[in-house]
Amino acid sequence: MSLKETLSNQVKQAVKSSFNIVLETVEFQATRKEFAGDITVVIFPMLRFIKGNPVQIGETIGNYLVENIANVKAFNVVKGFLNVEINDSYYIDFFNTAKDNDTYGFVSPKEEEKAVMVEYSSPNTNKPLHLGHVRNNLLGYSVSEILKAAGTKVYKTQIINDRGIHICKSMLAWKRFGNGETPDSSGLKGDKLVGNYYVKFDQEYKKEIEKLVATGETQDEAKKKAPILLEAQDMLLKWEAGDEETVTLWKQMNGWVYDGFDITYENLGVDFDTLYYESNTYLLGKEFVAEGLKSGVFITEEDGSVWCDLTEDGLDKKIVQRADGTAVYMTQDIGTAIQRIKDFPDVGGMVYTVGNEQDYHFQVLFLILKKLGFDWAKNLYHLSYGMVDLPSGKMKSREGTVVDADDLIDEMAATAGEISEELGKLDGYSESEKQMLYKTIGLGALKYYILKVDPAKRILFDPKESIDFQGNTGPFIQYTYARIQSILRKAASTKFSNQDISGIELHEKEKELLKQIQLFPEVIQNAAMQHSPALIANYTYDLVKEFNSFYQNVSILGADNDNEKAFRVQLSNMVANTIKNAFSVLGIQVPERM
């Protein structure tokens, strides 16, 4: 049982015995530096139930804790805050229990509990992955790993948007202007090649709009009547009708893109347990549109289109099938969700990692699935995140002004290399070791910079700022981990097992470190509940700051005796292990040397 759980139970008991009041919850916070104490009980919320002076209430509870908990040695009350001091022996016991646990903070999945499926990436097959996809992938992958660390069975998945008008635009542009170009003949990754034709379509489309406007058409009319757009729309109808030539071209170009995506995913360090394709799931969605029509969930308009009227639920009417019978995104998402539960009956909930511009879409999707009678629909969660901006402005795929994910990864590694060379700490490294280290630092910088921000917030991404070896950055934390590994190598001859540390009087910095390490399991659980890697990232930064303060104020290898030396070396190892575990759920590697 954690310190908070123990104190919480005893505070409730104190309130029950002293005031005959049953408290549901007890609020804690860190003790402010200027006061003695290791943890603070906040009295103010209790005043809703207990009438009296908050200082006197705090005194009563404090005396109860000292009398009934062996590890509580003293307390002080400041206004409505009860600051509790804990004996060193409590932290020594914690140290002895946790120091050899390499998976400290992680919980094994419970077989009886339902699994969660986390969807992320979910790209269109008409362009390469870009910086926006990078945030999506890093968030989805990290949330998956955090949920697993918190004791949930997780399936990582994506829905590949491999059909629709956007796909046909790339296909049509390649058919018109490609002259048989392939990834092999061009030397380009397949996703980049196809993305070039998506940009080409937009360029030609704009030229045709200009011509139509010059003949007297309005801008809106010209956008609808441009021949290249009409041909792309016709291609979509042919694809849905199973036209052999269209389907063959679609398979060929999508194959190029998948090969390109696989390389990017490997470089980024993310993976998936299963894949879904919109070209398959939209059909199941159409089946349930038909079922919903029978049950009255959906209605047919005069033009033959099918809608769901959600106005009584505070939303709008939403189309689920066009008048010509073709599917919309909502159709596909309905089908995908249902298919996933069919494929994985142990799944009891899903997390959708999708940008906040789709907030309304997921409100509608979740409500429709509930109306269709699916009990698991109450456990659907939209991991909504803000966009990623650059100092130069917003990215636009169709105009070719995006930051390509592969180029970004390479740039991060190159920048890490430049800074590392300037610092001059790579003596003895081979060239291949240097390159691996640069990639580890560069990717760590990228991932940490993105994940340390609350998912809901928009990010202004500055690559140079992210690769700083000082401050709240990935490289700073990686460097601290490497520093600890250096200490452990130097201390390799120290014998730990026979050292008696039970009587050690803890230095203030040692206690602060142990308190920070002890928080890790709670941080994991909170991050899982809130679907927020930022909680893990910023916790790790706080831990590293505490370690560096400890390192500067306490001699580790120059301790006064073997017991103290053994303790401090093992404490350093606990910090390193916690950093490694925290960074593992963020998808970040830690180097042994830097």
Domains plus CATH for the chain?
3-86 (3.30.1360.70), 120-389 (3.40.50.620), 451-585 (1.10.730.10)
Could you tell me the two tokens for 32? 């402010």
CA 285 vs CA 155, 329, 335: distances in Å: 22, 10, 4
Kindly state the DSSP code that residue 108 receives in the 8-state scheme. P
Global pTM exceeds 0.85: yes
Cβ-based neighbours of 374, under 8 Å, separated by 6 or more: 337, 338, 341
Going by C-alpha positions, the residue among 8, 72, 4, 2 that lies closest to residue 37 is 72
CA distance 217 to 208: 11
Q: What is the 3-state secondary structure (H, E, C) of 374-391?
A: CHHHHHEEEEEECCEEEC
Q: What confidence score (pLDDT) does residue 401 get?
A: 54
Residues of the chain with pLDDT under 50: 393-400
Cβ-based neighbours of 121, under 8 Å, separated by 6 or more: 129, 133, 136, 137, 140, 158, 265, 270, 272, 353
For 174, phi and psi rounded to 5 degrees? -65, -40
pLDDT in tens, 411-431: 899 989 888 887 776 777 888
CA distance 3 to 549: 24
Cβ-based neighbours of 230, under 8 Å, separated by 6 or more: none
Tokens 């402005």 -> residue: 393
Torsion angle of alpha carbons 51, 52, 56, 60, nearest 10°? -20
CA distance 390 to 395: 8
Q: What confidence score (pLDDT) does residue 366 get?
A: 97
Q: What confidence score (pLDDT) does residue 397 get?
A: 43
Could you tell me the two tokens for 294? 């029978």
Q: Do 31 and 37 meet the contact criterion of CB atoms below 8 Å apart?
A: yes
Going by C-alpha positions, the residue among 412, 489, 446 that lies closest to residue 141 is 446
Considering only CA atoms, give the Rg of the chain: 29
pLDDT in tens, 158-170: 999 898 899 999 9
DSSP E strand stretches across 49-114: 72-78, 81-86
CA distance 588 to 101: 20
CA 241 vs CA 244, 319, 323, 332, 355: distances in Å: 9, 21, 15, 17, 32
Kindly state the DSSP code that residue 491 receives in the 8-state scheme. T
Helix-helix angle 431-451:474-490, to 10 degrees: 130
CA distance 180 to 326: 30
